[in-house]
Amino acid sequence: MNRLLNLLLFISCTLTVVAQSSTHQYVTVVAEPDHADWTYHVGEKAHFTAYAIKENVRMKDAVITYSYGPDKLDAVYTGTVKTDKDGFAHFDVPGAKTPGFTSVRVKMEVDGKTYSSMTNIGFDPYEIKPTTTMPDDFEQFWNEAISKAAQVPMSPSLRYSEKESNDRVDVYYLKLQSYKKGNYVYGVLTVPKTSGRKPAILRLPGAAVRSFNGPHELAYEGFVVLEIGVHGIPVDQSPEIYRQLENGALAGYTTMGIDNRDTYYYKRSILGCVRAIDYLCTRDDVDSTRIATYGGSQGGMLSIMTAALSPHVSALFSYFPAFCDVTGYYYGRGAGWPHLFRNPNEPNIQARMEVSKYYDTVNFARLLKAPGFYAWGFNDPACCPTSTFSAYNVITAPKQLQLGRDTGHWLYPWQTENALKWLKSQFHME
């Protein structure tokens, strides 16, 4: 028995060391801006200090390559600096001519390996304006689509999961007819075993084709939680099925049907989210005056869209939302995931950009009435800050933004913890 325990301890320690070493670079290269908030005014020059750390010591006489250019676009300048006897080097980045972000990258080679990092600085980011515009019939288009979908019976079907339920929550798998007969939304419903009506959260997924299971951890905070997929397929299949779909029938789903606003892939997904909110309102254990949407990336986009379209959503948490100002590349600046319209010569681009306006997160953000909590960072390579600020800046509803400037496409725990505290305060839960 002792030999077995020692073996298990050895394996555990080995896995811990491997996990730690895989997330820590041998050399860390840093570009440190002279403004602690990484923010400047248009036209203001930024001063950077560059250094490289190896084994917790700054490297002297190290040659560091630096470059800068607009967020998500090619660098406009590349140069080199050499660190001094204290391990520091300095360079300047000219001020941007308009509100936006500049990506500053540093890299160096050590023993044949390249180490790098990025620092995105903002120039009056709260003044960034979107390139997309709202169609005159935007609200009419979505109101008619929702009205038509409402005529389709929900026909909800719940399957209890004894395996995933416990003494605190019940877990169910939900099948819900959506915007037309034979089209379904699938998800996992987690219900706290407490009496009375409870606040609810619609948890929306990031991009991918994958499974979901319960219980959802937010249910332990007192929420009824419905986590759904957006592809109209069951969420409890084998991983191999989702891999096949992602590489086959659903590969490139973000551009499917984009030549027509009525056939674009996300129309079904968005209406499915609204239908999920409608379902929550029918439940006796849900307080329909306290329903929130919650999600990041694609889920952040859908959180904003659903809150804009459903009058039953009274709060939302959206982190690094996708599909923000997707026409940006066409106008020579960074745009949000899924990075459409990079090639100005792509077939039918003008018509496709017109279709995108009916699905751009920016235009849904303009309609928001529910208060929202938002979170992202300046270094996000997927949902770049130029795009997310384009959406945030048009919101007139009560809003709060929690920045973790050095984050990429991820959040710090304190950002999600603060979001939960905010949401509970909105729903008078503490």
Could you report the per-residue pLDDT of 123-157, keeping only the tens digit for each?
Answer: 999 999 999 999 999 999 999 999 999 999 999 99
Sorting pLDDT into bands at 50, 70 and 90, what band is 23? low
- Helix 298-309 and helix 265-282, axial crossing angle in degrees, nearest 10: 60
Question: What is the separation, in whole angstroms, between the first and last Cα of the chain?
Answer: 48
Residues 216, 312, 339, 409: which is the catalytic one? 409
Looking at residues 398-405, what average pLDDT do you find? 97
Q: Amino acid identity of 162? A: E
pTM of the model: 0.93
Residues 297, 310, 318, 390: which is the catalytic one? 297
Could you report the per-residue pLDDT of 189-241, keeping only the tens digit for each?
Answer: 999 999 999 999 999 999 999 999 999 999 999 999 999 999 999 999 999 99
Neighbours of 20 (CB within 10 A): 9
Residues 6 or more apart whose CB falls under 8 angstroms from that of 270 comprise 302, 305, 306, 309, 359
Q: Beta strand pairing status for 198-204 and 184-192?
A: unpaired
Rg (CA), the chain: 24
Is 24 catalytic? The answer is: no
Closest among 276, 334, 287 to 149, alpha carbons compared? 276
Give the mean pLDDT of the chain: 94
Could you report the per-residue pLDDT of 261-317, keeping only the tens digit for each?
Answer: 999 999 999 999 999 999 999 999 999 999 999 999 999 999 999 999 999 999 999
Sorting pLDDT into bands at 50, 70 and 90, what band is 179? confident
Residues 339, 380, 387, 390: which is the catalytic one? 380
Report the C-alpha gap between 330 and 353 in whole angstroms: 9
Is 409 catalytic? The answer is: yes
Rounded to the nearest 10°, the torsion over CA 159, 164, 169, 173 is: -30
Residues pairing with 295 in the sheet:
204, 318
* 44, 321, 405 from 51: Cα distances, Å: 23, 32, 19
Is 297 catalytic? The answer is: yes
Token digits of residue 172: 């169910």
Largest CA distance in the chain: 74
Sheet containing strand 315-319, edge to edge, reads: 157-160, 169-177, 184-192, 224-228, 198-204, 286-296, 315-319, 372-376, 399-403
Domains and CATH numbers, the chain: 25-127 (2.60.40.1930), 138-426 (3.40.50.1820)
CA angle 245–251–257, rounded 5-degree value? 115
